[in-house]
Amino acid sequence: MLIPILGLLIGCLTAFWIPWNINPAYSVYVAIAILAALDSVLGGVSANLNKRFSMIIFLSGFFGNALLAAFIIFLGEKLGLDLYVAVVVVFGTRLFQNFAIIRLHYVDKLDKRSKQLSIDEITPNPEA
């Protein structure tokens, strides 16, 4: 779980420290690539929490999703269609699903901890 989060932090810090000028013709591609990367990172964190993380699956999804998304956008531009909207909807949905899985994991952990604390408070200590 640490590797995807560390990569995300390094990427964000690099983006703020190094000034980037992106050609407006490529701005949709860059935005979708960032969305695909965030989807992969949150998917990796979610998989790690469920003890199913695989670096090969993470990397293939990271690059494969970005390339597929770029191809769909390119194809849409050639056909005169705004196919980037479909890509945004798909990745946006997946981002929220992965975030929900991560959030529910930690909420469940906190809920179990609070239940354990309340049981400990109710149960008398026989050594006292």
Return the higher-pLDDT residue of 108 and 20. 108
Decide: pTM greater than 0.75: no
pLDDT at position 100 is 93
Q: Among residues of the chain, what percentage have pLDDT more than 90?
A: 45
How confident is the model over 2-15, as a mean pLDDT?
79
**Whether the predicted pLDDT of 102 surpasses 70:** yes
Overall average pLDDT of the 90-114 stretch: 91
Token couple for 60: 């293939």
Which contiguous run of DSSP H or E holds residue 77? helix 55-79
Q: How far is CA 83 from CA 26, 34, 123, in A?
A: 15, 17, 60
Q: Residue 117 has what pLDDT?
A: 66
* Band of residue 5 on the pLDDT scale cut at 50, 70, 90: confident
7-16's contacts with Cβ under 8 Å and 24+ in sequence apart are: 7/41, 8/37, 8/38, 8/41, 11/37
Query: Is pLDDT of 73 > 80?
Result: yes
CB 5 within 8 A of CB 45: yes
Instruction: Collect all residues with Cβ–Cβ distance below 8 Å to 86 and sequence separation of at least 6.
Output: 72
